[in-house]
Amino acid sequence: MLPQLIFLGAPGSGKGTQAALLVKSLGYIHVSTGDLLRAEILKGTDLGIRVSKLLSAGALVDDLTVLELLKSNCDTVSRSYIFDGFPRNVDQARLLDELLAPSKSSSMAVYFKIDLADLKNRIINRRSCPACGEIYNLMFKLPASENICSKCGHNGLVHRKDDQVSVVEKRLDIFKENIASLVFYYEQKKALFEIDASSSSDSVFESLTNIF
């Protein structure tokens, strides 16, 4: 069984893009807590209604709510996942360790290192396909036809509400508050791999596959 992969990195550091590539090449299951929360909001569930304002403001949802959502969407005993967006702090890292304890495979954390100054532009220019989740960027990854998803043909790419400048700044601040202690946590467990996430997505993918 493939190791459980825990992706750490700032918003916009390319975790989702690389996860999609690993799903295709190695058969991982990608689980993004942000995507799960947005799906709850779209479905209009009680949970979705409760967290909607937090997401729009770029604030964190409480740890246990996100954990429960993760639990109900994963079979961590017998499947290998890429955890994207969880953990976001050391308390969540401990919760994830407990969740993964019965898993048949080991786990490792990959930190997507990137200069935060470059990120704001990357995020503001990010667009995604609401049908298949493919991620585009107006700066360096345009779809072949304007506003049409090259992967599934859906017409109408979306700009996430929380990808607006002021909210992006808030999300980056929360990331800065937590990343050092998270990196330290996985370093101590000897389970941390760092990759340079500032280069093209092909070369980031190469560094990522070199870890295996």
Q: Are 28 and 22 in contact (CB under 8 A)?
A: yes
Q: Which is nearer to ligand ADP, 127 or 171 (CB)?
A: 171
Asked if 54 is part of the footprint of ligand ADP (rule: CB under 6 A), the reply reads: yes
Q: Are 31 and 82 in contact (CB under 8 A)?
A: yes
Q: Footprint of ligand ADP on residues 57-76 (CB under 6 A)? A: 58-61, 66
Task: Find the shortest distance in angstroms from Cβ 145 to ligand ADP.
Answer: 26
Which is nearest to 200 in space by CA: 14, 27, 12? 14
Q: What are the distances in angstroms from CA 3 to CA 84, 96, 149, 178, 195?
A: 14, 14, 31, 24, 17
Q: Where does 20-66 show beta strands of DSSP type E? A: 29-32
Task: Find the shortest distance in angstroms from Cβ 10 to ligand ADP.
Answer: 7
In our burial notation (b when 16+ CB lie closer than 10 A, e otherwise), range 157-188 reads beebebbeeebbeebbebbeebbeebbebbee
Figure out which of the listed residues 6, 55, 93, 129 binds ligand ADP, where binding follows CB under 6 A.
55
Q: Footprint of ligand ADP on residues 85-104 (CB under 6 A)? A: 85-86, 88, 92
Which tokens in the block code for residue 132? 């298949």
Asked if 127 is part of the footprint of ligand ADP (rule: CB under 6 A), the reply reads: no
Asked if 14 is part of the footprint of ligand ADP (rule: CB under 6 A), the reply reads: no
| Residue whose beta carbon is closest to ligand ADP | 34
Write the interaction track for ligand ADP spanning residues 15-34; mark x where CB under 6 A is met and - where it is not: -----------------xxx
User: How many chain residues are in contact with ligand ADP, going by CB under 6 A?
Assistant: 18
Q: What share of the chain is helix, strand, coil (3-state, %, to 5)?
A: 50, 15, 35
Q: Which is nearer to ligand ADP, 4 or 32 (CB)?
A: 32
Q: Which residues bind ligand ADP (CB under 6 A)?
A: 11, 32-34, 37, 54-55, 58-61, 66, 85-86, 88, 92, 162, 171
